[in-house]
Amino acid sequence: MVRPLVALMALLMTAFWAVGQARKDTRPNIVLIVADDHGREAVGCYGNPAIKTPHIDQLAAEGTRFTNAFCTTASCSPSRSVLLTGLHNHANGMYGLEHREHHFSSFDTVRSLPVLLGQAGYRTARIGKFHVAPERAYQFQQVLKRGGTNDPASIGRSPVEMADLCYSLFSEVSEKPFFLYFATDDPHRSNAVAANGSPVFKSDQANRFGNRPGGYPQVHDVFYQPFQVSVPPYLPDTRATRQELAQYYEAVSRLDQGVERLVALLKETGQYDHTVIVYLSDNGAPFPGSKTTLYEPGMRLPLIVKLPKPQKPGFVQDAMVSWVDLMPTLLDFAGALPDTVYRQGRSFKAILEQENVTGWDEVYGSHSLHEVTMYYPMRVLRERRYKLIFNLAHALPFPMALDLYHSLTWQDVRQAGRKQYGKRSVEAFLHRPRFELYDLQTDPDEVRNLANDPKYRAELQRMQAKLKRFQQQTKDLWISKWEFE
């Protein structure tokens, strides 16, 4: 039903494109695609031979693919708040999840990306998952929604339909460029919810990650068999893990088709060559060992930037950037970077296609909570070779998100009484020391903690001093823990 309509409208609107393209405001449109829990290891162009993500890969083939891009906190709401404020979560108030009883929200005073782009003359619209608060601080001019239907399922699981709903924005005749925030629910785990709003978990079967019989409008299901998936080193290679990864891949391939449609519509409406497209994820895959941790699988993520007119299609950028850098970058594209630099990141616009960049060799991470019961602040300095993790509440067992705790992958490990979980022991995963120092060159899986090794004492102290300075500079309340705990 929708497809012919779209084609028809495209035809009818053709006459107007000249106007759109001739607009005086030559600043690019911006499309920011935020996937939910899409780990870097589950993308074709990042080296996974089994998963099918041809359209994300195509974006990378035409644009710039970052190999050292990091979120600063591997938790949904906090990470999105970082993307949209250019401030670490400890500085914008979004210390944990926004929804239900967790109920975190940013300070009213934050100046967010949609608000600043709106002030800079952009049309701003969002669709799909929001998960930040308060709404007035993160105000978009338009919220694109499925209309006239009582289908209770979130639009965020129906990525092609989501893309179709953006057509009105792309085709609107306007002097102004647009900013679209396109946030899918895929490939997050699907959690059933009881009548009273409490989540319901089925720990004895693979999660479906939103996959459902009959699929979603205009999505052709891509199925995977457990034997086909690649199990990353942080996960145990079990039947349980493989079953869940197969489901996870299916959700990723659905998401990929949303990207396909979005690109197709940008082309149909003549906007593609006037648009910066960014593809990234809020945090790593929804498995213990990735999401909610600041280990590499949790924080090192896909980042693809497709420029309106790429000079070096398929460029691979190894500069280290993080999600605090995204807002300054997008403001930079909009010519709206404030003179007063109160942001905690910096624009990487200038280096998008630049080889051998210097001065992009470290990122900082800051995690506070996920669910409100999951207090486990961590501060991280990630350099090219070494990584220091400061576990502020290290005396507590590492808290598990309810959906990860109840996952088949984890319950299988518990019920089988396994001592090992991927490359780590279960014990090491659940009980962490105050400091973890890893040499990623010799130990990419972060299993040999060097923090107590006298040979690395100078390294440790150097990095501790940097981390503390970062906390001072970003007004981190938790800096008190150096003294108190």
Complex with its own copies: residue 1 or 195, whichever CB lies closer:
195
Catalytic residue among 45, 71, 76, 166: 76
Q: In 386-397, which positions are buried (b, 16+ CB within 10 angstroms) versus exposed (e)?
A: bbbbbbbbbeee
372 binds its own copies (CB under 8 A): yes
Burial class (CB in 10 A: 0-12, 13-18, 19+), 461: exposed
Question: What is the total count of residues that contact its own copies (CB under 8 A)?
Answer: 25
Measured between alpha carbons, how far is 206 from 236 in angstroms, rounded to an integer?
A: 15
By CB under 8 A, name the one of 120, 357, 396, 428 that touches its own copies: 396
Q: Which is nearer to its own copies, 89 or 281 (CB)?
A: 89
Query: If DSSP codes are grouped into helix, strand and coil, which group holds residue 170?
Result: helix
What angle do the packed helices 326-333 and 76-85 form, to 10 degrees? Answer: 40
Q: Is 105 exposed, middle or buried (0-12, 13-18, 19+ CB in 10 A)?
A: buried
Can you read off the two tokens belonging to residue 274?
A: 């006037």
CB of 178 vs its own copies, minimal distance in Å: 31
Among 336-344, 353-361, 397-405, 455-463, the segment contacting its own copies (CB under 8 A):
397-405
Of 150-158, 333-341, 365-373, 419-427, the window that binds its own copies (rule: CB under 8 A) is 365-373
What are the CA-CA distances from residue 347 to residues 183, 194, 198 (Å)? Answer: 22, 44, 41
3-state helix, strand, coil in the chain (%, to 5): 35, 15, 45
Closest to its own copies by CB, 51 vs 393, is: 393
Find where tokens 């001093």 sit: 465
| C-alpha Rg value of the chain to the nearest Å | 22
CB nearer to its own copies: pick between 204 and 485: 485
Distance of CA 36 to the CA centre of its chain: 6
Q: How far apart are the C-alpha atoms of 183 and 180, rounded to whole Å?
A: 9
- Residue 340 or 442 having the CB closest to its own copies: 340
Nearest to 91 by CA among 395, 287, 324, 313: 324
- Kindly write out the interface string for residues 93-132 of this chain, putting x where it contacts its own copies by CB under 8 A and - elsewhere: x-x-----x-x-x-x-------------------------
Closest approach of Cβ 395 to its own copies, in Å?
A: 4
For residue 255, give every residue at least 6 positions away whose Cβ sits within 8 Å of its Cβ, in sequence order, or none: 35, 38, 159, 184, 186, 187
* 198 Cα distance to chain centroid: 25
What is the closest distance, in whole angstroms, from the C-beta atom of residue 158 to its own copies in the complex?
Answer: 28
The 8-class DSSP code of residue 295 comes to S
397 binds its own copies (CB under 8 A): yes
- State the nearest-atom distance from the C-beta of 298 to its own copies, in Å: 19
Q: Is the peptide bond before 328 cis (omega within 30 degrees of 0)?
A: no
Give least dist CB 392 to its own copies, A: 9
| Shortest Cβ 99–its own copies spacing (Å) | 12
Task: Look up 71 and say whether it is catalytic.
Answer: no
Task: Give the per-residue contact string, 400-429, with its own copies (x = CB under 8 A; - = no).
Answer: x-x--x------------------------
Q: Which of residues 210-269 bind its own copies (CB under 8 A)?
A: none
Which of residues 325 and 412 has its CB atom nearest to its own copies in the complex? 412
- Residue 427 or 485: the one with the smaller Cβ distance to its own copies is 485
Q: Which is nearer to its own copies, 50 or 402 (CB)?
A: 402
Stretch that binds its own copies, among 51-59, 231-239, 280-288, 392-400 (CB under 8 A): 392-400
Is the CB of 99 or the CB of 448 nearer to its own copies? 99
> What number of residues does the chain have?
485
Could you identify the residue written with the tokens 């396909």? Answer: 260
State the Cα–Cα distance between residues 212 and 192, nearest whole angstrom. 13
Q: How far apart are CA 282 and CA 365, in angstroms?
A: 13
Site for its own copies in 1-60 (CB under 8 A): none
Tell me which stretch binds its own copies (CB under 8 A): 122-130, 270-278, 371-379, 465-473: 371-379
Touching its own copies, residues 461-480 (CB under 8 A): 477-478, 480
Shortest Å, Cβ 94 to its own copies: 9
- Phi then psi dihedrals of residue 126, to 5 deg: -130, 155
Least separation in angstroms between residue 412's CB and its own copies is 17
425: closest CA among 289, 301, 297? 289
Q: For tokens 């829990």, what's the residue? A: 37
CB 375 to its own copies: min, Å: 4
| Interatomic CA distance for residues 279 and 122, integer angstroms | 20
Q: Which residues are catalytic?
A: 76
Q: Which residues bind its own copies (CB under 8 A)?
A: 93, 95, 101, 103, 105, 107, 371-373, 375, 377, 393, 395-397, 399-400, 402, 405, 477-478, 480-481, 484-485
